Amino acid sequence: MILAITITPGYYLALSALLFTAGAVGLLVRRNPLVMFMCVELMLNAVNISFVSFGDAMTDLGGQVSVFFVLVVAAAEVVIGLALVVAIMRRQPRATADDIAVMRG
């Protein structure tokens, strides 16, 4: 029964939408900056799933190449973000996202 279902790109896109929503809600709800970065990673992975799924549906390698670049950018983003977190936590341990309000314009 479950094995008889043909997995269309729609299934992958639905999963991608759910994962993106989970990441977005987590980003809005959590206050620990590290956990917020993890939620950004969730959203990036949701987009990666849809890229690869579209590439598979259209028999185009561009989707996979895009995911490769997203991976590189995610790695750079995590490095910079965690450096910022370390710099802030050194000034004020146990800072939450509410305490970084000094950075707003």
Partner 1 sequence: MEAFVFFVSAAIILAGALGVIVMRNPVHAALSLVMTLFGVAVLFINLEAYFLAAVQVIVYAGAIVVLFLFVIMLVGVDRAEDLRTEPIIRQRELALLAGAGLLAIAVIVGVASGGDVTGVPAQGDPEAADLAIDRAVEVSGDFDGDGDEETITEAPEPNVRRLGRALFTDYVFAFEITAILLTIAVVGAVVMVRRPEGELQPLPEVEPPWVLRPDLDPDPHAEVAPDPGAVEPEPDPEPDEAPAAADGEPTT
Tokens matching residue 59:
């028999």
CB of residue 75 vs partner 1: minimum separation in angstroms? 6
Taking CB under 8 A as the rule, does residue 105 contact partner 1?
no
Give dist(CA 95, CA 105) in Å, integer: 19
Taking CB under 8 A as the rule, does residue 52 contact partner 1?
yes
CB of residue 99 vs partner 1: minimum separation in angstroms? 6
DSSP state of 92: S
CB of residue 18 vs partner 1: minimum separation in angstroms? 6
The site string for partner 1 over 4-33 (x = CB under 8 A, - otherwise) reads: xxxxxxxxxxxxxxxxxxxxxxx-xxxxx-
Taking CB under 8 A as the rule, does residue 47 contact partner 1?
no
Number of Cβ within 10 Å of residue 17's Cβ equals: 13
The site string for partner 1 over 71-90 (x = CB under 8 A, - otherwise) reads: xxxxxxxxxx-xxxxxxxxx
Give dist(CA 29, CA 105) in Å, integer: 22
